[in-house]
A and B are shown apart, each in its own frame.
Chain A
Amino acid sequence: MNKRNFVLGFGAIALGIAPMAFADNSTLGVTVGPEATFASVASTTSLTKSDTTFGGYGGTTNFTYKIRTTLSGGTGSISVQVTSFGTGGPAVSDLAYTCTAPSSGTPCSSSTAASTTAGTSVIAFGEDAHSSDAGHAGTAVWTLADKTLIKTGDYSSTATFTISAT
């Protein structure tokens, strides 16, 4: 009996001096949710005109955005809201825009009136919408009617673009 125990013990020692390895597993998960951001928005847009016969003003605001909407049932939007031009200046009711967008979204249809009270649509996104990893470019092309009652001078309005995704 003693001899048998010695043999077993020697076996254990032999195993003990060998290189050993032990492993354990873990599940690595990644949660990817809807997100949206502007990569850039032009800080200024000048509305200009090429005549002196009361033709309208025009200008373009360029922006780049990144977006990812939920695979099923998600939506997204880019909207814009403007402030008034100030006393004696153009009326926001005379300001409108058209939009361009790549395939990730649907640009506003035809000419859209700007608003000081609510964001108005620039681009709409459906479910499972994705920009490229570098971002997609869009534009808002502004038109402003030139009316005789506007006093001469420089006027400015702040256009706030908002992007969201669900």
Chain B
Amino acid sequence: MSANVGPSGKLSIPQSVTLRAADTRFGGSLSGTLTVSYWARTSTGGSGSVTVQAASEFSPAGGPVVANVTYLCSGATLGTGCSGTNTLATSTQTPVVILPGGACTGGGTACSSQEPNTVLLTLSALNKPHYKTGTYSTLVSFTISTI
């Protein structure tokens, strides 16, 4: 009996995240956090990534646009979280975590001890007076790819 174990990955994210102002005086950004849980196994010499992309612009119009939304990645427990401030986009997948070859979730030893692995995204959008009051939403898609 033999088994050829290949690269694999899955992830889990909250159904929704809402960006809100911390005060009512334009004192900061509209912000919120989201934890991405992921399981990964990459081949020796392979690689992987977790990325995010907005499916469309916010609906309805009148509020922020996707290009106004930035995010920071912190505390990735496997791989390297995105560095610096990243901008969400509808046209391209932007990085969340870069996975090295030979990475694997759980079990310790050669793998990470955490299961699942997690990374915290802190999302922000500028809070501009010209936005109309209301609630705006869009769908964001997180993708894990492994080789």
Contacts and interface: CB of A to CB of B under 8 A. Distances in A.
Chain A interface size, under 10 / 10 to 19 / 20 to 34 / 35 or more: 35 or more
Interface string B51-72: 0001100100001100001000
B9 interface: yes
Contact of B5 (A16, A23, A74, A135): A16
Contacts, number: 156
Given A23-B142, A26-B139, A66 B26 contact: yes
Interface in A1-46: 13, 15-37
Contact of A32 (B12, B134, B147): B134
A106 B130 CA distance: 18
Given A16-B5, A20-B7, A31 B135 contact: yes
Given A20-B146, A24-B12, A30 B141 contact: no
A36 B128 contact: no
Interface stretch (A55-63, A79-87, A126-134): A126-134
Contacts of A24: 11-13, 141-142
Given A32-B63, A133-B129, 17 more contacts: A20-B145, A23-B142, A26-B15, A27-B16, A27-B137, A30-B20, A32-B127, A32-B134, A33-B21, A35-B24, A35-B26, A35-B127, A36-B24, A36-B25, A36-B26, A68-B132, A70-B133
Interface of A: 13, 15-37, 66-71, 74, 128, 130-133, 135, 165
